[in-house]
A and B are shown apart, each in its own frame.
Chain A
Amino acid sequence: MKMLVDAFTIALPVLYFGTAWAYAKAFFKDSVLAKKVKTPFLLLTLAIHLAYLLLRTVLFNHPPITTIFEIMSIISFSIAAAYAVIEFQTKVKNTGYFILILAFIFQTFSSVFIENLYEVKPILRSNLLGIHVSSALLGYAAIAISAVYGFLYLMLYHHIKSSRFGVIYNKLPNLETLEKMSMLSIVVGFSFLTIAISVGLIWLPRAFEHFSYFDPKLIGTVFIWVMYGVGLGAKRTIGWQGRKIMILSIIAFAISFFSLTIINVYFSAFHKFY
């Protein structure tokens, strides 16, 4: 079983690269073959990735959420899976490259640095932790996707405004659809973050002696949550739309990314495991 895990560790970045490449070929070069194989290839990659995560859980006797590189593999999976759901839901099939390239990057980092740990801290074996981490990751994957669509929206917006009618204009879906996809991702992301924070607030005080409501990471995460909540509310009530809300979605993601990385690594006290 260990051999299989090791083989998958090497194979996954290759598979993600292949998938992203097929989507790129379909988007930029209009390749008929790429258009045909890209979605099945994505599903195959996802299936192998899921098997890999399950195998790791069984083999090392803990879910792969204990080191940052294990987490990265899950982030990669969440992004690709969330994209697959969006593709099936919206039937917009040609924006995958911009999202799957993220999955490829995360999985590559994970595969290069991941270690096979059999021993983990007892605190990280909790079931609540599983829910907390997985919903947080799905939430972050969703807001990452929303930022990608926000970015695509802004690209197309400026191309149309300045009468540049190239590949971007040709291949991207219309502005309204991109905005909808970005907003849908935010709603999904916000819901998962809500779950992650609720579970976290139940679990953290019980699990840690040095728990503090003023931990920078906790504040950061709640800030992100409030930010998205206010944004969604403003969209509903004031009717913000178009360019402005797409810029907000990108800024919000940038702040979230900052919170997830810099604050987590340098400032967090008790809420830091890696």
Chain B
Amino acid sequence: MNLVAVGINHRTAPLEVREKLWMSSDEIRNAVTAMKGHPFTECFIVSTCNRTELYGVYNANGSADDAPPDINGLKDQLIGIKAPGGAVKREHLYHMLSSNAIRHLFKVASGIDSMVIGDIQILSQIKDDFNLAYEEKTTGPLLHRLLQSTYHVGKRTRSETTITEGAVSVSYAAVELANKIFSDLSKKTALLIGAGETGELTAKHLVGRGIGGIFVANRTKAKADELVAGLGGKAVDFDTLQEMLNSVDIVVSSITSDKYVITKSDVQHAMKERSNKPLFIIDIGVPRNIDPGANDIENVFLHDMDGISVIIDRNVQKRKAEIPRVNEIVLEELTEFYNWYNSLQVNPTIHDLRTHFEQVRLEEVEKNINRFSAEDRELVDLVTKRIVNKLLHLPTTNLKNGNEETEEEKHNKLHIVRSLFGLHKHQSPKE
């Protein structure tokens, strides 16, 4: 298959190099348009903060043995689009051909090639970037089918493995922990202290899980108000922390402070006031905001970054354990894709077309044969065979004599014939 992939990712280049090749939507549009025709008949580019990859179908006609295009030339071309200065070198880029390129794309879509294993963002990014190429008309039947299989890999990975499960970020891990303490977050309330980014994200996830109410306390009230506007909670005075401790169930603290914002005796006092109702406190401030001694108090669950990172490490290990299963899915879909690809070759199509016509002829002959006298029956068989052969003669020759055509035209033609006559038997049964 004349497919090539050239790209850069977190494995081959540091962030400061990768970001030089990051492309905006408009830049992707321009790049794919420039490459369509030469060197590619079909192409698209995926660009995220961790990777920029170019996938292209090249036309091998005229060159010996399906030789791929000049890889170094391609790499230079990709570098040249964004960073011609020399900061990005050829060594930062990798390349893959035919089945390796497909396998790579499938792996990317499944999330096992991501920096954070099982990252679910990547599939929608591939979709979006492919759509850009589609709108610029640089995609064709091969890439369309390839993308269809790619989505399928992504979907199956999500439904058949647990690689996307378990929190691998601080904010999600905090929410996961809250769910191990409380059974119904909608009956609980949370207090966010400070306006740090991680704290805000945690609050957002809590809101996403349907937390019953959320309060924000910050030294600068304006910032708290701003946060509340985005979260749909209520801003409270920073001086009312002690009072808030008496009633809320979850506290998320991420404030910059040299001394503890909440001391052990504050918590002790609050536990009396709240008649020992469990209190979950996440301290993501550095240095820590809450006296670690508070964890000794009954029904108080205090966790800082160390505890959270234990959860994250454990979940990363669990995700890694799913990689072999994902590889199986990738292999299955790869086989499926090749089945389709092979079915598009000329000879199987001619064979399928002839079988289809022969079937129709036989059915009709069988249905009507009794209307003819015994001596005519053989003749009917002969005549109908002749009609079919004559009808199929020209299409068969035309399909076979496609040497002048480009790969894309060939594919288009076979694709049309197959869909016109409903010849799908070489394709996957799911289609």
- Residue numbers of A with Cβ under 8 A of B are 156, 160-161, 163, 165, 169, 173-177, 180, 238-244
**Is B298 touching A241 in the complex (CB atoms < 8 A)?**
no
Of all chain B residues, the one with the shortest Cβ separation from A238 is B275
CA–CA, A41 to B277, complex, Å?
39
Closest B residue by C-beta to A172: B180
What are 17 residue pairs bridging A and B, where the CB atoms are less than 8 Å apart in the complex? A160-B177, A163-B303, A163-B306, A163-B310, A165-B311, A174-B181, A176-B184, A176-B278, A238-B275, A240-B276, A241-B276, A241-B299, A242-B276, A242-B298, A242-B299, A243-B299, A244-B276
Which residues 160-198 of B sit at the A interface, judged by CB distance below 8 A? Answer: 177, 179-184
Interface residues of B in 284-325 (CB under 8 A from A): 295, 298-299, 301, 303, 306-307, 310-311, 314
User: What 5 A-B pairs are tightest by C-beta distance, nearest first?
Assistant: A163-B307, A176-B183, A242-B299, A239-B275, A177-B183
Closest chain B CB from A159 CB (angstroms): 9
A238 to B272, CA, bound (A): 12
Among the listed B183, B275, B295, which residue makes an inter-chain contact with A174, where contact means beta carbons less than 8 Å apart? B183
CB distance from B396 to the nearest CB of A (A): 50
What's the Cα separation between A174 and B275 when bound, in Å? 20
Are A174 and B180 touching (Cβ within 8 A)?
Answer: yes
Chain A residue nearest in CB terms to B308: A163
Complex CA distance for A173 and B311, rounded to whole angstroms = 17
**A163: chain B residues within 8 A (beta carbon):** 303, 306-307, 310
Measured between beta carbons, the chain A residues less than 8 angstroms from B295 are: 161
Which residues of A are found within 8 Å of B184, using beta-carbon distances? 176
Q: Which residues of B contact A (CB under 8 A)?
A: 177, 179-184, 275-278, 295, 298-299, 301, 303, 306-307, 310-311, 314
Closest B residue to A175 using CB positions: B181
* Residues of A close to B306: CB separation below 8 A: 163
Complex: A219 Cα to B179 Cα, angstroms: 43
**Which among A176, A240, A243 is the interface contact of B181 at CB below 8 angstroms?**
A176
Residue from B177, B180, B310 having most chain A Cβ neighbours under 10 A: B180
For the complex, give the distance between the alpha carbons of A161 and B303 in Å. Answer: 8
Q: Are B299 and A169 in contact (CB under 8 A)?
A: no
Asked whether A156 lies within 8 Å of B301 as measured between CB atoms, the reply is: no
A165-B314, A174-B179, A174-B181 given; A160·B301 CB < 8 A: yes
CA distance A169 to B277 in the complex (A): 21
The residue in chain B whose Cβ has the minimal distance to the Cβ of A173 is B183
* A169 and B180 form a contact (CB under 8 A): yes
Contact (A165, B310) CB under 8 Å given A175-B181, A176-B182: yes
Nearest Cβ in chain A — how far from B270, in angstroms? 14
Residues of B within 8 A of A241 (CB): 275-278, 299
Return chain A residues, CB-CB under 8 Å to B182: 174-176
Chain A nearest CB, measured from B187 CB (Å): 9
B252 CB → nearest A CB, Å: 16
* A160 to B299 alpha-carbon distance, docked (Å): 11
**Which residue, A156, A163, A177, has most C-beta atoms of chain B within 10 A?**
A163
Chain A residues near B181 (CB, 8 Å)?
A: 160, 174-176
Question: Within the assembled complex, what's the spacing in Å between the Cα atoms of A102 and B74?
Answer: 69
- Bound CA–CA A243/B181 (angstroms): 12
Report A170 CB to chain B, min CB distance, Å.
Answer: 9
Q: Are A175 and B278 within 8 A (Cβ)? A: yes
Q: Check B180 against A244 for contact (C-beta < 8 Å).
A: no
**Closest residue of B by beta carbon distance from A163:** B307
Residue of B nearest to A241 (CB): B276
Chain A residues with Cβ under 8 A from B180's Cβ? 156, 160, 169, 174-175
Minimum C-beta distance from B393 to chain A (A): 56
Q: How far is B307's CA from A173's CA once the two chains are assembled, in angstroms?
A: 20
How far does the Cβ of B279 sit from chain A's closest Cβ, in whole Å? 10
Q: Using Cβ atoms and an 8 Å threshold, which residues of chain A touch B314?
A: 165
Contacts A165-B310, A242-B299 given: A180-B275 contact, CB under 8 Å? no
Cα–Cα, bound, A176→B180 (Å): 8
Residues of A within 8 A of B298 (CB): 242-244
Contacts of A174 in B (CB 8 A): 179-183
A sample of 4 more A-B contacts (CB under 8 A), given A163-B310, A174-B181, A239-B276, is: A175-B181, A176-B182, A239-B275, A241-B275
- For A239, list chain B residues within 8 Å (CB): 275-277
B183–A180 contact, CB under 8 A? yes
What separation, in Å, do the CA atoms of A241 and B306 have in the docked complex? 28
Cβ-closest chain A residue relative to B304: A163
Interface centre among A169, A176, A239, A243 (most CB of B within 10 A): A176
Complex Cα–Cα for A173 and B301 (A): 17
How far, in whole Å, are A160 and B177 apart by their CA atoms in the complex?
Answer: 8
**A243 → B minimal CB distance (Å):** 5
Q: How far is the CA of A22 from the CA of B275 in the complex (A)?
A: 40
Q: What chain B residues lie within 8 Å of A160 (beta carbons)?
A: 177, 180-181, 301
C-alpha spacing A165/B295, complex, angstroms? 16
Chain A residue nearest to B178 in the complex (CB) = A174
Residues of B close to A238: CB separation below 8 A: 275
Tell me which residues across on chain B come within 8 A of A173, comparing CB atoms. Answer: 183
Nearest CB in chain A: distance from B56 CB, A:
41
List chain B residues, Cβ under 8 A from A175: 180-182, 278
CB-CB under 8 A for A242 and B278, given A163-B303, A174-B179: yes
Give the residues in chain A near B177, CB-CB below 8 Å.
160
Nearest CB of A to B39, in Å:
48
Q: CA separation between A245 and B293, bound complex, in Å?
A: 23
Return B310 CB to nearest CB of chain A, in Å.
Answer: 5
Determine the chain A residues whose CB is within 8 A of the CB of B310 once the complex forms.
Answer: 163, 165
C-alpha gap A180/B179 in the complex (Å): 15
Bound complex: CA A160 to CA B303 (Å): 9
Q: Inside 8 A of A161's CB, which chain B residues have their CB? A: 295, 301
> Which chain B residue has the least Cβ–Cβ distance from A177?
B183
CA distance A209 to B310 in the complex (A): 66
Q: Which residue of A lies closest to B188 (CB)?
A: A176
What is the bound-complex CA distance between A161 and B302, given in angstroms?
7
Q: How far is the CB of B263 from chain A (nearest CB, A)?
A: 19
Tell me, in angstroms, the Cα distance from A180 to B298 when the chains sit together.
18
Return B172 CB to nearest CB of chain A, in Å: 14
Shortest Cβ distance from residue B189 to the other chain A in the assembled complex, whole angstroms: 15
